[in-house]
Amino acid sequence: MINRNSDAPVVLIVDDDAMTRLLVVETLEPEGFRVEETEGPQEGIDAFLRHRPALVLLDVEMPGGDGFECCRRLRALPEGRLVPIVMLTGNDDDESIARAFDAGATDFVSKPMRWKLLGYRIRYLLRGAATLEKLATAQSSLTYAQTLAHLGNWEYQAGRPDGYWSPELYRILGLDPECTPATFDRLLQSVPADEQPLLIQSFTSLRTEGTAFSLEHRLIHADGTEHHVLHQAESDRDPSRAIVLRGIVQDITERKMQQGRIEYLANHDALTGLPNRNLLSDRMEQAMLQARRTRQLVAVMLLDLDRFKYVNDNFGHSVGDSLLQAVSVRLKAALRDGDTVARLGGDEFVVMLVNLRASADAEKIARHILGTFVAPFALEGHDLHMTTSVGVSVYPADGADAESLLKTADAALYCAKERGRNCYSFYTRELGTRVEEQAELENALHQALANNELELHYQPKVDLKTGQISGVEALIRWRRPGIGVIPPDRFIPIAEETGLILPIGEWVLRAACAQAVAWHREGHPPIPVAVNLSARQFRQQNVADMVRATLEETGLAPARLELELTESVLMQDRNTIAHTLRELKALGVMLSLDDFGTGYSSLSYLKDLPIDVVKIDKSFLSDVTTSAEGASLTRSIIAMAESLHMATVAEGVETEGQLSFLNRHRCHAMQGYYFSHPVTGPEIAEMLSAGTELPEHCRRRELLHRTLLLVDDDRSILQMLGRSLNRDGYEILCTTNPDEALDLLARHRVGVIVSDFRMPSLSGIDLLQKVKALYPDIVRILLSGYTEVQSITDTINEGSVQKFLTKPWDVALLRQHIAEAFQRFERGYATVPPLHDGKDADAACVDVHPPRITHIEEPRRRGQA
Ligand SMILES: Nc1nc2c(ncn2[C@@H]2O[C@@H]3COP(=O)(O)O[C@H]4[C@@H](O)[C@H](n5cnc6c(=O)[nH]c(N)nc65)O[C@@H]4COP(=O)(O)O[C@H]3[C@H]2O)c(=O)[nH]1
């Protein structure tokens, strides 16, 4: 019977004896085997390759060759390594058996054989072969896996110095298995000296007490490189009850490096390499712990670069990035080793100072930090002058944990910025309360628009020539239920910061336009309404689109809308802003520059922008009648605007003196409490109906009459002077008090002042010096006795006095000099040239003739005997 079952295990019989082959077939096929037969060694090898038998029965003596040699050749084949080969031998002698095993045979059977047992024997051998194959597969998988995992292993028997190291362990150590004994001492040699004691101790406990260990330590590879390994070991007893120690050594160098990299990235800022918020918090907690123990202080400084956004917008992000890197280098260089500089993101840095004894130490360092910004940063061909604001909080007084310390430092930073930047502020309790209030305000502001809590007031602007209302400015108010009206200065900055200014700004624009249309519909003359736009609106919205849509929606003529921008708007990217302003101009609206003089706008920049009106900030107006500087700045702004063909509106006009000053210098319009506070829409309507306007004497007049101011503490002299001059048609103002004289000058357009030399409260020279500074166009005459001439020579030479009259006077000559003085004033008035680039008007309008002395000889020049 021939077994053709293809799944049946194949047995190859190689024997020249046909009878033996037949008996094998007859015996095995009924047992479920398939038998392939060949007669000689070479055919046997060919059949082996063809049929891949599960087992080979091989005769020892064949005519075609020796069975031992055939066995050897079969074993040499890759496919023949593990196949059971059973030698069939007629010689049951020891030598043949030994030769058979030597040639690689698995077993032998002596002829004549017991055929009945052959099947059992073959099955047994096949089971053994299968187990061996599985073992070999498992072994190679294990080796492969160990290589992949860089996992080596070792084994020692207690009491024996030599043991076993796997190939991978040799590879990890970089050692040659052929010439390196697998001893524990050799393993130890590869461990750096500082880590050897730990390993020895662990190994000893394992050996003596059976305590398993798991350690990470370093190993020095044979090539000298340092590797990190995870080393784990435990002990066991083998079947003979001997103690066996087994361990694995895994090379985790790569994982360690990646872990290190991940940890670095998680704790450092990628741009500057400085610690980030994460690491900073850790360090802060540690520093506070230590400070508690040593009773010292920790200071946290929060830094924000002033105008960093301007650098980014105008010089590009790569310059911005280089700047941040340069700042981090300077900050690190400014501090001690134990201190920390971290970057929180953007242009925010934190400096943490440890081991401080007093807050004053932190103050010194804060000053030092400001000092490190003095030198410009030379970056990509630009010299950037940067400053920073610093908020400081101190542990333990200002916070018990990292988060609260950063919060209080932030509050202090806010205060430093409010103080004008480029300075530092320490946190105080009052500041904290203010910050909390701010936070509360911020929450409430989110609801304000939805709850209809916002409203608009309007402040009239008045034309100084006609005295009539020429427009209004819309000013927002927040009426908080249960609290009252909150002024915009308190909530607009918050709205700016949070972005709420965008919806609020849109609402203001719509409400103001609608109100202007409503006034017109009620029959009032069409007056323009001005609306403030914030810098953030320009950055984040398409302002031109929004304005166009609002004009369409409300039906307001574009010429009746004025948009007020602050200088901070102009500090944004030049090209973008110029483009937006041109788009707005193309719509037909008016553009005015608010709070002019408080920012950084330069004349050359302004002249390229389509600005119609410059608003002079109220901070200049406040001291315009008392401070030479205030007066000079305001004059300069008016003159500059005039030269650029822009109109001027002065804000915050509260007194007649300020108004007179503005008229004298030909400002176009005013806005301020002197005329009206901001009022409601209906109140504006009432003012328009009533034709409310500036009183006649407050308007700008061209030269109508000559006003003369006489100042003398002696009333009788004043009367005599008045009598001498009253025929000439002057408006004569008299006062015995120099302070009152300044007030009169502020309120009246005086052309000539005559002042006595000796007065108890202020000398005539001091008064005229002030007049020169405040009103350089007024012609200044000093009145004195003969004997005083010598002492006032220098003053005359300095130019504070332009004419000099002596007492008693010749009436005709007095009249003549006063008339000449007025002619001179009027000449100057008619030719006041526009001022350029902030130059003071003095040089232009003061006639610097040598002083003329009436009645006596010329005073002697400085240095003359
Ligand atoms: N001391 C004094 N002050 C005077 C006088 N005349 C007017 N003022 C005040 O000066 C401010 C003029 O407005 P601003 O410079 O545009 O300054 C405004 C403006 O920058 C901002 N603001 C107001 N409304 C809005 C708005 O709707 N949107 C935006 N973005 N900002 C607004 O808030 C600032 C303050 O507004 P207000 O508190 O209404 O304060 C107003 C006004 O009430 C005066 O004679 N003396």
Cα(475) to ligand 1 centroid in Å equals 6
Q: Tell me the pLDDT tens digit for each residue of 34-54.
A: 999 999 999 999 999 999 999
Q: Is the pLDDT at 482 greater than 60, yes or no?
A: yes
Q: How far is C-alpha 293 from the chain's CA centre?
A: 35
Q: Tell me the pLDDT tens digit for each residue of 318-358.
A: 999 999 999 999 999 999 989 999 999 999 999 999 999 99
Q: Is the CB of 475 under 6 A from ligand 1?
A: yes
Q: Whose CA is nearest to atom 15 of ligand 1?
A: 595
Q: Is the CB of 654 under 6 A from ligand 1?
A: yes
Q: Is the CB of 651 under 6 A from ligand 1?
A: yes
Predicted confidence band of residue 855 (pLDDT cuts 50, 70, 90): very low
Q: Whose CA is nearest to atom 13 of ligand 1?
A: 475
Q: Are strands 151-157 and 164-165 parallel, antiparallel or unpaired?
A: antiparallel
> 841: which 2 tokens?
């008007």
Predicted confidence band of residue 243 (pLDDT cuts 50, 70, 90): confident
Q: Tell me the pLDDT tens digit for each residue of 137-188.
A: 888 888 888 888 889 999 998 778 889 999 999 999 999 999 999 999 999 9
pLDDT at 600: 56
CB distance 617 to 597 below 8 Å = yes
Residue 317, exposed/middle/buried by CB under 10 A (0-12, 13-18, 19+)? Answer: exposed
* Over residues 399-417, mean pLDDT: 93
Which of 490, 494, 543, 651 should be mutated for ligand 1, with most atoms under 8 A from CB?
651
Q: Whose CA is nearest to atom 28 of ligand 1?
A: 532
Other C-beta atoms within 10 Å of 145: how many?
11
pLDDT at 856: 25
Predicted confidence band of residue 857 (pLDDT cuts 50, 70, 90): very low
Fold of the domain spanning 442-690: TIM Barrel (3.20.20)
Q: Tell me the pLDDT tens digit for each residue of 69-90.
A: 999 999 999 889 889 999 987 7
Q: Provide the residue type at 24 as one letter.
A: V
Structure-derived torsion over alpha carbons of residues 647, 652, 656, 657, reported in degrees to the nearest 10: -80
Predicted confidence band of residue 786 (pLDDT cuts 50, 70, 90): low
Q: Whose CA is nearest to atom 9 of ligand 1?
A: 652
Cα(594) to ligand 1 centroid in Å equals 10
Q: Whose CA is nearest to atom 5 of ligand 1?
A: 652
Q: Whose CA is nearest to atom 46 of ligand 1?
A: 652
> 307: which 2 tokens?
């105008």
CA–CA dist 833, 639 (Å, integer): 8
Q: Tell me the pLDDT tens digit for each residue of 568-623.
A: 788 777 788 889 999 999 999 999 998 776 655 565 677 788 999 999 988 888 88
pLDDT at 703: 56
| The model scores a pTM over 0.90 | no
- CATH 3.30.70.270 segments of the chain: 268-427
Q: Is the pLDDT at 846 greater than 70, yes or no?
A: no
- CATH 3.30.450.20 segments of the chain: 149-257
Element (H, E) at 130: helix 115-148
Q: Is the pLDDT at 189 greater than 50, yes or no?
A: yes
Nearest to 174 by CA among 224, 133, 210: 224
Q: Please report the DSSP string for 467-504 in residue order.
A: -BEEEEEEEEEEEETTTEEE-HHHHHHHHHHHTTHHHH
Distances, alpha carbon 814 to alpha carbons 705, 771, 780, 809, in Å: 19, 21, 14, 7
CA–CA dist 510, 68 (Å, integer): 109
> 16: which 2 tokens?
């020249």
Q: Is the CB of 502 under 6 A from ligand 1?
A: no
| Ligand 1 atom index nearest CA of 508 | 27
Q: Provide the residue type at 716 as one letter.
A: S
* Over residues 183-201, mean pLDDT: 95
Cα(146) to ligand 1 centroid in Å equals 77
CA–CA dist 478, 496 (Å, integer): 15
Q: Is the CB of 488 under 6 A from ligand 1?
A: yes
Q: Provide the residue type at 400 as one letter.
A: A
Q: What is the largest CA-CA distance in the chain?
A: 173
Most confident by average pLDDT, 223-227, 738-742, 805-809: 223-227
CB distance 796 to 859 below 8 Å = yes
Q: How far is C-alpha 530 from the chain's CA centre?
A: 34
Q: Provide the residue type at 374 as one letter.
A: V
Q: Tell me the pLDDT tens digit for each residue of 624-647.
A: 887 878 888 888 888 888 778 889
> 27: which 2 tokens?
């015996």
Q: Is the CB of 621 under 6 A from ligand 1?
A: no
Q: Is the pLDDT at 842 greater than 50, yes or no?
A: no
Q: Tell me the pLDDT tens digit for each residue of 819-834.
A: 888 888 876 654 433 3
> 149-257 — its CATH code?
3.30.450.20
Other C-beta atoms within 10 Å of 327: how many?
24
CB distance 758 to 788 below 8 Å = yes
pLDDT at 686: 97
Other C-beta atoms within 10 Å of 422: how many?
15
Nearest to 512 by CA among 552, 565, 550, 470: 550
The interface predicted TM-score of the complex, written ipTM, equals 0.96
Q: How confident is the prediction for the chain on average, in pLDDT?
A: 87
Q: Which residue has the higher pLDDT, 271 or 145?
A: 271
pLDDT at 132: 86
Class of domain 10-141: alpha beta
pLDDT at 773: 86
Structure-derived torsion over alpha carbons of residues 10, 14, 16, 19, reported in degrees to the nearest 10: -30
Q: Residues 6 or more apart from 83 whose CB is under 8 A from it?
A: 53, 54, 55, 56, 74, 129
CB distance 275 to 342 below 8 Å = yes
pLDDT at 353: 97
Kindly state which CATH superfamily the domain 707-853 is placed in: Response regulator (3.40.50.2300)
Q: Is the CB of 487 under 6 A from ligand 1?
A: yes
pLDDT at 568: 78
| Ligand 1 atom index nearest CA of 617 | 15
Q: Is the CB of 618 under 6 A from ligand 1?
A: yes
Which of 453, 515, 532 should be mutated for ligand 1, with most atoms under 8 A from CB?
532
Give the range among 11-25, 118-132, 826-840 with minimum mean pLDDT: 826-840
Cα(529) to ligand 1 centroid in Å equals 14
Q: Is the bond into 808 cis (omega within 30 degrees of 0)? A: yes
CA–CA dist 337, 283 (Å, integer): 13
pLDDT at 118: 87
Predicted confidence band of residue 858 (pLDDT cuts 50, 70, 90): very low
Q: Is the CB of 672 under 6 A from ligand 1?
A: yes
Helices (H), 529-627: 535-540, 543-554, 567-570, 574-587, 603-606, 618-621
Q: Whose CA is nearest to atom 6 of ligand 1?
A: 672
Structure-derived torsion over alpha carbons of residues 217, 222, 224, 227, reported in degrees to the nearest 10: -30
Residue for token digits 């040659």? 176
Other C-beta atoms within 10 Å of 218: how many?
15
463-478 core/surface letters (b: 16 or more CB in 10 A; e: else) = bbbebbbbbbbbbbbb
Q: Residues 6 or more apart from 74 whose CB is under 8 A from it?
A: 44, 45, 48, 56, 58, 80, 83, 85, 104
Q: Provide the residue type at 680 as one letter.
A: T
**pLDDT > 70: what percent of the chain?**
92
> 541: which 2 tokens?
């919205």
Exposure on the CB side of residue 359, measured as CA atoms within 13 A: 12
| Ligand 1 atom index nearest CA of 674 | 45
pLDDT at 836: 30
Nearest to 540 by CA among 505, 508, 516: 505
Q: Tell me the pLDDT tens digit for each residue of 440-466.
A: 888 899 899 999 999 999 999 999 989
- CATH 3.40.50.2300 segments of the chain: 10-141, 707-853
CA–CA dist 564, 534 (Å, integer): 9
Q: What DSSP state is assigned to residue 600?
A: -
Predicted confidence band of residue 757 (pLDDT cuts 50, 70, 90): confident
Cα(774) to ligand 1 centroid in Å equals 27
CA–CA dist 328, 274 (Å, integer): 8
CA–CA dist 736, 725 (Å, integer): 18
Most confident by average pLDDT, 111-120, 453-462, 570-579, 661-670: 453-462
595 torsion bin: left (phi>0), alpha (psi -120 to 50), beta (else): left
**Considering just the CA atoms, what is the radius of gyration of the chain in Å?**
52
Helix, strand counts (H, E) of the chain: 32, 34
Q: Are strands 243-251 and 226-237 parallel, antiparallel or unpaired?
A: antiparallel
Give the range among 468-472, 495-499, 597-601 with minimum mean pLDDT: 597-601
Q: Residues 6 or more apart from 565 whose CB is under 8 A from it?
A: 533, 538, 591, 592, 593, 594
pLDDT at 862: 30
pLDDT at 830: 45
pLDDT at 81: 87
CB distance 800 to 764 below 8 Å = no
Predicted confidence band of residue 849 (pLDDT cuts 50, 70, 90): very low
pLDDT at 724: 87
For residue 66, the SS3 value is: strand
Element (H, E) at 99: helix 94-102
Q: Residues 6 or more apart from 791 whose CB is under 8 A from it?
A: none
Fold of the domain spanning 268-427: Alpha-Beta Plaits (3.30.70)
Q: Going along 100-166, which residue ranges are E strands?
A: 107-110, 151-157, 164-165
* Over residues 198-205, mean pLDDT: 94
CA–CA dist 587, 583 (Å, integer): 7
pLDDT at 854: 29
> 72: which 2 tokens?
């050897």
pLDDT at 843: 25
> 119: which 2 tokens?
């099947």
